Structure formats: structure tokens, C-alpha cells
Structure 1
Amino acid sequence: MKLSKRSLPALAVVTALTLPSTALAHPHIFAEARLEVETTENGLISELRHVWRFDEVFSSSVMLDFDRNGDFVLDNSELAGISEVVTDSLSDFDYYTSLTIDGADGAISLPEPIKVSFQDGQLLMFFAVLPKEPVPLDGTIAVGVYDPTMYAAIEFMTDDQMVVTGASAGKCQSQVVRPDPDEVIAQNQGSLTEAFFSDPTGNDISKLFATRLELVCK
């Protein structure tokens, strides 16, 4: 994946969410996350809803860079600036969202800018992405959340932070899958080359390490 010129903001702290680096194949930013897979009465996935709460160190850096008047409060215009930068930048990375249907990748879109707030010293982002094509609750569906550059770790602290919601929530069996890194490495030795570790954005191996919610529907 390649960043567009528009996705290179002057404020480097938010660029760190999306900027690949040749020596940074491990997380430097951490966020606790929640994912809701919303379903409709007629058995479709309607939205993939995200909430991310970032660690205090990164949040403090964002505060310093975006607090233009230096009052240690992010007002609406300052929050809007963060939203604009992040919404634009994460579009090149599908908003860290992976949707697969029976193993095939599903496309997604973001209908509204990412919403941003600052609570108890931590930066929060919340947004919903939509499948570009209807996704019936049929077969095996998986939703993963990860940064392909491996710079940011989006973590689901407990399994109940990845859930199916809505009118058809009971139609499928669901489970949270947390891949074992040692098993992933052992099963993909041929792909984990030096090129992967120097530029993880050049491949999709990092997807294999991501926590995901799997739905098995009949």
C-alpha cells in the first residue's frame, strides 16, 4: 500500500498511525478496541462499528500537536482537525478493517468521517464502515482489525469486545479467534522473509496475526 500525498499531514504524530517504516515492524501505539457487527432483520450485515481508545502516551502527543491555543482542551475545531487527518490517512488502509466472506475479501466504505473525542486523558475514535456489496449471513464470515504496517496495535482486551448485534444476531455461531504468533510463524515460514520485516506493508502476512471475529452461518 502506498500513501497518497493528501494522507501525509504536517502533524507527524497522527501520521504515525499510517506511515510505514523500514525498522518498525512492531507496535509503538496501542489502542483498546470494540467491534460490533450489526445485522438487519432480513439477514444482512449492515455495519461494522468500531470504537478505539488510545494509550495515554500517544493521546498526550496528539493533545500537544493539535491544541493550537495551548489550553489543554481540544475544542470542536481541533477535534475536527484530527478527524480530517485520520479519516483521510486511514482510507489507504481500509480503516484497519478486514472483511472476508468464505475466504474472499469484501470491500468496505466509510459513509461519514471518523468521530474523535478526548476523555479522561485518552483519545477516542469511533466510526462505522459499510460493506460495499450486500453481505448475507451465509457461509463463513470473518472481520479482523489490524494495522498492516504493524505500527499500531488495535487490541480487544476481552472476547466480549467483539460481538454480533442487531435483529439477526442469533442466526450465526460466532467466536473470537486470537491467532498464536508462534503457530502463524511456523505455518508461514516461506512468506516471513526479510522483506516482510523491513516493509510489512508490502504483503498481507500481518493479517494472519490479527484478532478476528468469525461467524459461521447456515
Structure 2
Amino acid sequence: MERTSTRRGLAALTAATALLAAGAASAHPHMWIDARAAIEVDADKRITAVRQVWLFDEMFGAYATQGMKKGRDGSLRPDALEGMARDWMTALGEPISHYFTRVTVDGKMAAFAAPRDARVDWNPKTTRLTLSFTLPLAQPLALGADGAQVDIYDPTYFVAYAFDAKGAVSLAGPQAAACTTAYRKPKELDWKTMQQLAEIPADPDALPDELFAITKGLTHRIEVRCP
């Protein structure tokens, strides 16, 4: 069930942006995202939301905007960007796809309320699209003895994330200074696995079970602690 729903969410996202229809090349991953995340902490040191910024790669930007009416400077109409943001958030909003984001405490996953502040920005000079959004938790989440874990990843490895920029992981809110974060990169893939993934076509359903068992562990984890 988890894998099927994740695939549906990916299919909807790529359909909304016309990436696959434009004939993306084979090889997993098919999208690259430079990501940023800010964890909101309230006055009682509870997690209340996860703010994210996803900067898509240039090829994705070119495909996603193909055929769209642009200004002389390459700009896109505001209503086109607003529509793109709505489509993407709808596609990402399937309960099991869960916006490719998980917040857990003591092994229990928190539920999100409806996302807010979703917007898409387009840079015609770099041909890169940016999706920004906030995921509020349905209820403020008190941290456990081991803190909380925020995982951002695509288990099918259709999308590859990177949190390499300075300050890509941060805390926000009235008790941000009282808490700490630790960012854990996913493990490196071996050469054989990378070669196998490179032969997979642009279809989440094409990922064999033995490779899915590996890629679903490629988690970008943010550990939050508030003493």
C-alpha cells in the first residue's frame, strides 16, 4: 500500500508538470531538489510545523514550463505559478505520500493539517522553479526522551534531495534558541546499485523490489532536541 500510494502521488506530480510527457531520460533519480527545512517550535518546546523550500533542477524547470506563455524577460504569469502550486500540493497531499515528509516521536508518526503558504517561484535566468510551503502539524507535538525525527525523502528515489547549503536545516519560533538540530545524510549508494538504478526507466512502478528495499532507506533525517 505504501509503495502504490507513493507512486500515484509521483505520477500525479509529474503529470501536472509534464515532465514525463516531455520524454525524460532513463535513470533514477529523475528530479533533483536542493532543499531547505525550518522546524517551528512553540513556547512550550513543541513542534508545530515544518517549513520547506524545494529548488528543482534546471532540466525539470525547462520541461515543467514548456509551452507556457512567458513574458519578454522569460517571466511566467502569476496565475500560472499559483495554479502550479495548487496542482503540486494536491499531488503531494495523498495521505501515504505525506508530502515526502515524516515527523515521528517515539516511533509514532504525526499527522499534518492542511498545508499553507504554498507558492511557486520561477527564475528565468537559471530556469529553476522553487516550491515553498509550510506543513502545520494537526496538533503541536511534544518531544520524547530522544527528541523528534523529521525525515524528508522519496522512498522510490524518483526524487533526490540535497541539504547541502549553509543553513539548509534550521529552527524557528519562540523556543528555537533553546533547541538543537542534527542533520543525518542518507548513506552513500554503492557503484553496482547506482548502475542498476541508471537502467530504470522514468516510471516509479519500474523500480524492482530489491532496489526499493535500498532506496526507501535513503532518508534525510533532522533530529530535534529541546533540553
TM exceeding 0.5 = yes
Match of 2:50 in 1: 48
Alpha-carbon displacement from aligned partner over 1:111-165 (angstroms, at most 9, x marks no partner): 3363101024210110000111220244320112112321111210146311112
Match of 1:195 in 2: 209
The question of whether the paired residues in 1 share the 8 Å contact of 2:56 and 2:128 is answered with yes
2:59 equivalent among 33, 57, 63:
57
- In structure 1, stretches of 5+ residues that fail to align are 17-22, 184-192
The question of whether the paired residues in 1 share the 8 Å contact of 2:151 and 2:220 is answered with yes
CA distance in 2, matches of 1:113, 1:43: 23
Query: What is the Cα deviation at residue 207 of structure 1?
Result: 4.6
Match of 2:169 in 1: 162
- In structure 2, stretches of 5+ residues that fail to align are 191-206
Q: 1:209 to 1:159 in 2, by over 3 A?
A: farther
User: How many corresponding residue pairs?
Assistant: 195
Identity value in percent: 26
Query: What is the Cα deviation at residue 173 of structure 1?
Result: 3.3
Match of 2:129 in 1: 123
CA distance in 2, matches of 1:208, 1:178: 11
The question of whether the paired residues in 1 share the 8 Å contact of 2:35 and 2:54 is answered with yes
Match of 1:13 in 2: 19
Q: Quick one: which amino acid aligns to residue 148 of structure 2? A: I
TM-score, length basis structure 2: 0.73
CA distance in 2, matches of 1:10, 1:125: 14
Match of 2:87 in 1: 85
The question of whether the paired residues in 1 share the 8 Å contact of 2:117 and 2:132 is answered with no
Query: What is the Cα deviation at residue 194 of structure 1?
Result: 4.6
Q: Quick one: which amino acid aligns to residue 221 of structure 2? A: R
Match of 2:204 in 1: none
Q: Quick one: which amino acid aligns to residue 217 of structure 1? A: C
TM-score, length basis structure 1: 0.76
Q: 1:10 to 1:46 in 2, by over 3 A?
A: closer
CA distance in 1, matches of 2:21, 2:148: 31
Alpha-carbon displacement from aligned partner over 1:25-83 (angstroms, at most 9, x marks no partner): x2111111110001112222121000111111111111214x14686431012112211
Q: 1:138 to 1:95 in 2, by over 3 A?
A: same
Match of 1:209 in 2: 218
Match of 2:140 in 1: 134
Query: What is the Cα deviation at residue 11 of structure 1?
Result: 4.9
Query: What is the Cα deviation at residue 108 of structure 1?
Result: 1.5
Helix, strand or coil: the match of 1:109? coil
The question of whether the paired residues in 2 share the 8 Å contact of 1:137 and 1:171 is answered with no
The alignment yields a C-alpha RMSD, in angstroms, of 3.0
Match of 1:28 in 2: 30
